[in-house]
């Protein structure tokens, strides 16, 4: 199933699109562009959510990772 999306564009642009309609499938181009943008914005939204969760986690004292690695190496 599909839906209709209407937008207003400058007349000059519409004329340029019309002049290239034998060369370019504008419908296909626009759908592909919108699909890519949706993917990109979904990723950005997910990153924002991850950052929000990370901000709420308690911080680890500086040097903890180094200390843990040293302890692990020394235990062998």
SS (H, E, C) 31-45: HHHHHHHHHHHHHHH
Tens of pLDDT, residues 37-57: 999 999 999 999 999 999 999
The tally of domains found in the chain comes to 1
Indicate whether 5 belongs to any domain: no
Indicate whether 67 belongs to any domain: no
Indicate whether 12 belongs to any domain: no
Q: Is the dihedral of CA 52, 54, 60, 64 positive or negative?
A: negative
**What is the Cα–Cα distance from 1 to 18, expressed in whole angstroms?**
27
- Predicted pLDDT of residue 25: 98
pLDDT for residue 76 is more than 80:
no
pLDDT band at 32 (very low <50, low <70, confident <90, very high): very high
Cβ atoms 26, 17 nearer than 8 A: yes
Indicate whether 32 belongs to any domain: yes
Indicate whether 61 belongs to any domain: no
Residue-number span of the structural domain to which 48 is assigned: 25-56
Scanning 1-76, the segments in alpha helix (DSSP H) are 11-19, 26-56, 64-74
**What is the Cα–Cα distance from 46 to 56, expressed in whole angstroms?**
16
Indicate whether 34 belongs to any domain: yes
Of residues 7 and 61, which shows the higher confidence score? 7
Indicate whether 2 belongs to any domain: no
- Predicted pLDDT of residue 29: 98
Indicate whether 48 belongs to any domain: yes
Evaluate if pTM is beyond 0.75.
no
């Amino acid at each position: 199933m599909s839906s209709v999306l209407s937008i207003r564009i400058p007349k000059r642009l519409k004329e340029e699109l019309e002049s290239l309609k034998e060369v370019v499938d504008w419908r296909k181009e626009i759908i592909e562009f919108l699909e890519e943008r949706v993917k990109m914005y979904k990723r950005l939204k997910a990153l924002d959510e991850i950052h929000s969760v990370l901000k709420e986690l308690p911080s680890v004292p500086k040097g903890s990772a180094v200390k843990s690695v040293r302890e692990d190496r020394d235990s062998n």
